[in-house]
Amino acid sequence: VAGSALVLAIVAAVAWWVARRDHAASAAANRVVVVPYQNQTGDSTLDPIGQMVAEWITEGLAQTSEVQVVPHLIVLQTLAALKPASAKAAGLAPIRDLAHETQAGLAVAGSYYRRGEGVEFHSEVVDVRTGRQLGSVEPVRVSARDPASAIDSVRLRVMGVLATRLGVISWELPPGVRPPTYDAYRAYAQGMERWIAGHYREAGALFESAFALDSTYLRAKLIAAVAYGNAGDNAKRDSMLAFVLPRQSLLS
């Protein structure tokens, strides 16, 4: 009897482990990581656009309860940990390593190029395990004078491919939620750099600047609260949160 009970216990444990492993594998297969787009224009002033596109796609996915998406800040922190200085200088994105670290099965990546008087955005959605591209994402081309105008179009096209792959029914952002202005996002991106370097108070000030430049950019105000909390300034943290909490329906 004892022997039979032991065998049953082992079988049950193995069955539990297999089920847990399969569930984890299934969850990872549908978890999406969005990599900052690579600037191939030769114009460094357009660098923040790559992050802006990635975060806006991430924001759209985060609004969809049917999809797991790796938060943008986690992507930046993981990339900073993965890349040696030489790779950073070359603008390389180790997508497979990033997906492994964040346990994502799907990756969104892209680049943008100068095309005459315009800027053209190319995107791809990849199954990380097989390296297979999941669908064709039509390029988006806009005026070089207003590259940020491409952001919503890129998000819609990428999410269209993901919606087909993941069977998502609804992935529209709530009314009134739109990308921030480019100037506001540049301040936000600078804040992210200070955050990753561990300078939370400086980061908080930059996030506040981003919100001052675009009063609809509520995420900047929320992240400022977290940054000040990390810096130990609970009074500033609480004042930020007092503003954000009544408006949290506008956040993912």
Q: What pLDDT shows up at residue 198?
A: 92
Q: Is the dihedral of CA 22, 26, 32, 38 positive or negative?
A: positive
Q: Where are the beta strands (DSSP E) in the chain?
A: 31-34, 38-39, 68-69, 106-115, 118-127, 132-136, 140-143
Say which residue, 10 or 202, is predicted with more confidence.
Answer: 202
**According to the model, what pLDDT value does residue 94 have?**
76
Sequence-separated (6 or more) residues with CB below 8 Å from residue 178? 152, 216
**With 60 as the cut, is the pLDDT of residue 41 above it?**
yes
pLDDT tens by residue, 72-111: 989 998 988 887 644 444 444 578 888 999 999 999 999 9
Kindly report the pTM of this predicted structure: 0.72
pLDDT at 181: 84
For 160-181, write each residue's pLDDT tens digit: 888 777 776 555 655 556 778 8
Return the percentage of the chain with pLDDT > 70, whole number: 80
Average pLDDT, the chain: 82
pLDDT in tens, 106-159: 999 999 999 988 999 999 998 988 888 887 788 999 998 888 888 888 988 888
Partners of 113 in beta bridges: 120
